[in-house]
Amino acid sequence: MSGRPKGDGAESPELTIPRGTLLRSRVVSDVGTTLSRALDRELTGYATLVPQETLLLSGEARGVITFEDGVPVLAYNTVTDNGGPDALAELAVPGPYRVELYAVDAGGLAAAHEEEAVRVAPDAAATELADDVDLAERTREAAPEERLRDTADEDDAVAAFLADDERIDAIREQARSEARDRAAEWGLDDALDEPEEVGERDAGSLIERDAGGSVDG
């Protein structure tokens, strides 16, 4: 499996995943079954996921999820060339799925697992694909401490951003300014004016004018 140029001109990651030893090939209605099996076996390897809509309707989802000691490490959609959380989002479609589970020597996945752009949080597949809270918790418990720290650091970065009121206000003001500029270009300045409060009598006058008659009361 290898990356190719994406639509925005950026190169997608180069991934090389060996064939491995086929352990199971099934049609499943719930991806959680496969994720749970990989976790219980402490599998180092990968699963291929092909949703029914891809099999029948040429959908755009053919996924690969790799595991290290049973814990998901990366996700990749071989159709769209997207990886990481984006790939999981594309694979989160109604089943059933054609699933194949492969075992691979740990060294065979080492290079692929270094690609940060396609990595996912340990519990992300259980949450996004299986909607299984218990499986997500079991996966977190089995994940190495450094994987959990990485996820916590990402969460802290998001929380810090959301707590930065000045930065958020600046972004909002920039968005409002851009909206006003676009409205001016399109002659829609009035659409962005702040609405005035309308009292009961004013509301009646508005209705009367619109209806061409009078309002009782």
Q: Are 205 and 110 within one domain?
A: no
pTM as predicted: 0.64
Q: Using CA atoms, how far apart are residues 179 and 188, in angstroms rounded to an integer?
A: 10
- Contact present, 90 and 80 (Cβ < 8 Å): yes
Domain count of the fold of the chain: 2
The first and second tokens of residue 117, run together, are 């752009």
Q: Are 138 and 185 within one domain?
A: no
Query: Alpha-carbon torsion 156, 158, 146, 88, what sign?
Result: positive
Total residues belonging to the chain: 217
Q: What is the pLDDT along the chain (217 residues), one digit of tens a residue?
A: 444 434 444 455 567 888 899 999 999 999 999 999 999 999 999 999 998 876 565 566 789 999 999 999 999 999 889 999 999 999 998 888 999 999 999 889 999 998 899 999 999 999 999 999 999 999 999 999 887 766 544 544 444 445 566 766 666 677 667 666 666 666 655 544 444 444 444 444 444 444 455 444 4
End position of a domain, from candidates 143, 178, 195: 143
> What domain range is 62 assigned to?
21-143
CA distances in angstroms from 23 to 20, 37, 101, 104, 137, listed in the order given: 9, 11, 5, 10, 25
The answer to whether residue 216 is domain-embedded is no
Q: Are 31 and 118 within one domain?
A: yes
